[in-house]
Chains A and B, each alone.
Chain A
């Protein structure tokens, strides 16, 4: 019996090790490859024999990657700010006030969050050209709202709904108006929820690809995902993989750090968005 248990234990830890290797290896391989230059890139070494930073220097010199990063930060930051601003007041109404048409509204918001992006692509293209913002980052700030706004409203509504009722009643008795209740009573309690929701919305905007490749044309207007997808080398057939991996590592490390720091919060935010409803 003892031996059988020991074998079971070993198998279990083997499984754990296998899971870790499976989830971490591709990212590890990207880091290793980004540190290899020249012919070293084409050899399979688990550890770079002569780590070199040439690829990292290269992406900033040979194409304006700093500009792409700045674009991504501006777009994602603006989208998150607008989404949170609009959804805080809306979520108070949707989560705490009983009014006619509320269920229909919530259903609409949920349905919009399921829209395939391509379903609004031609209409959005027309809107973007009509507003004269084609090939500017404004087109992305506008179009990304369809991805983040339903999500932030939905998640904040579930958090609003769970706040204790007495707080609001006490404020109401004191004659506070709804706007005061939101800003003075609920907002301080909602900071953790706002941080989580904002972070998830930021990641969504940071990662978006289809609108970005459709509504921007010049390299100075591009965001990071498009830049990484379009990095090209001297010939069409051989991509500069070292530089592609370096760019990938640069944009991923901040996200991985954020996710590891806010692990618990992200888990609760994700489950609130998908299951708790």
Chain B
């Protein structure tokens, strides 16, 4: 594709200006019309609900009667700031995001490096790695829930057999273990995504570099730290920020593994519980708005750090 584009740039005439301007104008007109339906739908399903959520966060709206609300200023946010359970959810989310992203990055790197080696059966290995990614989150959660079962779970059986533990663990019920249990499932589920992104970056590193390093007798570990890692760092950063964004929004896994349990409740779980279960739309919306702002900050970092390409490329 790259080659085609360069050729087209070189060969296309400097565009007869007079005729093309009318064409260009026509193209721009139709471009605006073409974007319009998509934008209209996005405004209805994203823009409007977001604005309403932010609006609700300044009211005492209740799910039972959404019309009968009154504005109460910043009361919800003040209550939120004083709410220990909310800060517990914030802390859970941050702990979850940091640990799961770190483990996923390290594990994804190891698997990507393995996949990048030219070994027989590489296709099969890549297929195996993709399986967790293809499994719906709810299903992964239930599969692990069964493996975590304190009485009949296979994990306890394996760990007891290996002598790693001396009595069965209640993975999801024990408040000290529950968050770890959630992290383990997330790591299993999303490491493939990390692996693929790292692998894509690894495959852009020219093979000659490894060849040269091997001839010079430099140890593989040194090559990794000094050559490979610096070369794939930009792509790695984008992947890490992308995953962090995802981790901050986590809902399905803690909700299914442990319900609304305080030990694992993330910001999204807590906000939804207030909104739907306790019907407190005003308060829940305030929590949602807070989460939105946190994610917005990370999105700005993502867009700047990722140097996202907005140009049309060859124009």
Contact = CB atoms under 8 A, between A and B. Distances in A.
Interface string B257-285: 00000000001100110011000010011
Interface string B148-159: 010110100100
Contacts of A66: none
Interface of chain A: mostly helix, strand, loop or mixed:
helix
B142 A166 contact: no
B38 A244 contact: no
B312 A86 contact: no
Nearest to B38: A90
A150 B43 CA distance: 11
A275 B200 contact: yes
Interface residues of A, number: 103
Q: Which of B32, B35, B135 has the most CB of A within 10 A?
A: B35
Contacts of B77: none
A263 B284 CA distance: 40
Contact of A165 (B5, B142, B196, B255): B5
Interface string A234-263: 000000010011001001100110111001
B45 A116 contact: no
A122 B143 contact: no
B1 A162 contact: yes
A116 B295 contact: yes
A142 B49 CA distance: 12
Interface of B: 1, 4-5, 8-9, 11-12, 23, 26-28, 30-32, 34-35, 37-39, 41-42, 44-46, 48-53, 56, 61, 63, 66, 110-111, 114, 117, 119, 121, 123, 125-144, 146-147, 149, 151-152, 154, 157, 188, 192-193, 196-197, 200-201, 235, 238-239, 242, 245, 248-249, 251-252, 255-256, 267-268, 271-272, 275-276, 281, 284-285, 288-289, 291-292, 295-296, 298-299, 302-303, 306, 308-310, 312-315
Given A116-B268, A120-B46, A122-B52, 20 more contacts: A16-B119, A23-B128, A26-B143, A41-B152, A42-B152, A97-B28, A105-B35, A114-B299, A123-B53, A127-B44, A145-B42, A165-B8, A214-B276, A228-B142, A248-B142, A255-B136, A258-B134, A259-B131, A263-B123, A267-B200
